[in-house]
A = this chain, B = another copy of it.
Amino acid sequence: MALIVHKYGGTSMGSTERIRNVAKRVAKWARAGHQMVVVPSAMSGETNRLLGLAKELSPTQTTDALLRELDMIASTGEQVSVGLLAIALQAEGVEAVSYAGWQVPVRTDSSYTKARIQSIDDARVRADLAAGRVVIVCGFQGVDDKGNITTLGRGGSDTSAVAVAAAMKADECLIFTDVDGVYTTDPRIVPEARRMATVSFEEMLEMASLGSKVLQIRSVEFAGKYRVPTRVLSSFTPWDIDIAEEARSGTLITFEEDEKMEQAVVAGIAFNRDEAKISVMGVPDKPGIAFQILGPVAEANIDIDVIIQNVSHDGKTDFSFTVHRNDYQRTLDLLNAKVVPATAATQVVGDPKICKVSIVGIGMRSHVGVASKMFRCLADEGINIQMITTSEIKTSVVIDEKYMELAVRALHKAFDLDQPAG
């Protein structure tokens, strides 16, 4: 008798046959006596189809008015999904009702196509649960305070699911996906990669932010902020797999540090080739310069990842950072138009063909020498390091994109991640 949130991705919802399977799985959980809330994504391909139609008609300039309409259009994909899943559950003899984001409501800010959840009202959902219904809530979407439909951006359904679980104080949030858990690194690159039975919230956060596509980073942030026990597990098991076995499968994100004490120093290797590197050269090293450079970038709603400012030289310094590769050209244009004239920078240079590779692990906090072992390993492979950043639980390097697989494999081996945990 628990309150459980299930999230199913677009592949799991990809056809009526698959939706029927999701319904049978959810029905199994409901019949076991659990109160069930389900957050499905749009049927796979649907969001792309809808945005493709929109693109054919779009003006060249991206305005807020345009983004608003994209959300209006894209949000329908999930609305179809929830309705179909509710019907499939009713066909299984399970009472079910679906809600769009605005009906719950899931309140967000007004940043169309990349909105952030502000609050979720649990009253309507809770009343349905009390009446014995399975409640199906649209992922990926919400409503702003003026009643405009917003979407959370790609992958936002994970965030929706965890946020709903937090608002409902759910006992567990199960993210059904096309992988059977979180691995020490991407098994497509390192076949020896191992699935972790548990991963600490902090590690998961770093893994997600560094490109492990298992969970969207904001969903991990939500899980951590509200301490939502969140499990990543496979949607490819037969729907009638034993429920006790299913409840133990995949990878559970934990919030207790102690239990990790005996585990490896480095939990996993993450990587990301979606980034581009930009350097603003020869800016005066004076108070406010970072804001002068990054303020306009942030204002343009461009996310900045790694930021590095090195010691100055003759009162001048070089300022480097990374952005998403899609924002590369826009950021360069912006810097040349606004920042170079304002800061008297000598030039702006960049490279979109880079990647970021990181070692992640709570254990690193108390172990010296982890970073140097990483640098040694890369040097042994002849890989030049372009940028370095460190935090308490990760060390990241930016390297030439072409060395990515080599670096990940070498590091995975160097930190004994192919060996079963101690």
Contact = CB atoms under 8 A, between A and B. Distances in A.
A131 to B, nearest CB: 11
A233 B289 CA distance: 63
B20 A57 contact: yes
Given A19-B57, A79-B72, A87 B103 contact: no
Interface in A190-218: none
Interface residues of A, number: 42
Contacts of A79: 72-73, 75-76, 79
B102 A87 contact: no
A88 interface: yes
A148 B100 CA distance: 10
A54 B88 CA distance: 8
Interface stretch (A91-99, A271-279, A408-416): A91-99
A141 B100 CA distance: 15
A84 B54 contact: yes
A307 B66 CA distance: 53
A383 interface: no
A87 B69 contact: yes
Contact of A54 (B50, B68, B76, B87): B87
B97 A65 contact: yes
Main secondary structure of the interface of A (DSSP, over half): helix
Contacts of A80: 50, 53, 73, 76
A83 interface: yes
Contacts of A70: 83, 87
A84 B97 contact: no
A73 B42 CA distance: 12
Interface string A43-70: 0000000100110111100010110111
A90 interface: yes
Given A70-B87, A73-B83, A76-B79, 12 more contacts: A16-B56, A16-B57, A23-B57, A54-B84, A65-B86, A66-B87, A69-B98, A72-B82, A72-B98, A73-B80, A76-B76, A103-B148
Interface of A: 16, 19-20, 23, 50, 53-54, 56-59, 63, 65-66, 68-70, 72-73, 75-76, 79-80, 82-84, 86-88, 90-91, 93, 95-98, 100, 102-103, 147-149
A-B interface, 10 closest residue pairs, ranked by CB to CB distance from nearest: A76-B76, A73-B83, A72-B83, A59-B91, A16-B56, A57-B88, A69-B83, A69-B86, A57-B87, A69-B87
26 contacts: A16-B57, A20-B57, A23-B57, A50-B80, A54-B84, A57-B84, A58-B91, A59-B87, A59-B91, A59-B93, A66-B87, A69-B83, A69-B84, A69-B87, A69-B90, A69-B98, A70-B83, A72-B83, A72-B86, A73-B79, A73-B80, A73-B83, A73-B87, A76-B76, A76-B80, A103-B148
